[in-house]
Structure 1
Amino acid sequence: MDMRRIVAVLAEEAEQQIQYQVWELAPSDRALALETEASLRDAVGPADVQDALPEITRLEHLRETLAVLAISLARTHGHLAWFLSGAINALEPVLRWRALPATRGGTFGTVLPSPEEYTEAEDAVRHLQDVLAQISRIKH
Structure 2
Amino acid sequence: MDMRRIVAVLAEEAELQIEDRVWTVAPDDRALALTTEAGLREAVGPPESQEALPQIERLEHLRESLAVLAISLARTHGRMAWFLSGALNALEPVLRWRAMAADGGGTFGTVLPSVEEYTEAEEAVRRLQNVLAKISRVG
Query: The TM-score by the shorter chain falls in which range?
Result: over 0.9
- Aligned CA RMSD, in angstroms, stands at 0.3
CA shift, 1:105, in A, is 1.5
Superposed counterparts of 1:33-112, under 5 Å: 33-112=33-112
Superposed counterparts of 1:11-30, under 5 Å: 11-30=11-30
Give the aligned partner of residue 115 of structure 1: 115
Give, in whole Å, the separation in 2 of the partners of 1:67 and 1:56: 17
1:131 corresponds to 2:134: no
Letter in 1 for 2:3: M
Structure 2: runs of 5 or more not aligned: none
Give, in whole Å, the separation in 2 of the partners of 1:104 and 1:6: 35
Aligned residues: 139
CA shift, 1:83, in A, is 0.2
Give, in whole Å, the separation in 1 of the partners of 2:38 and 2:68: 10
Which 4+ runs in 1 deviate beyond 6 A?
A: none
Query: What TM-score results when the alignment is normalised by the length of structure 1?
Result: 0.99
CA shift, 1:104, in A, is 2.0
Indicate the percent of aligned positions where both proteins have the same amino acid: 78
CA shift, 1:21, in A, is 0.6
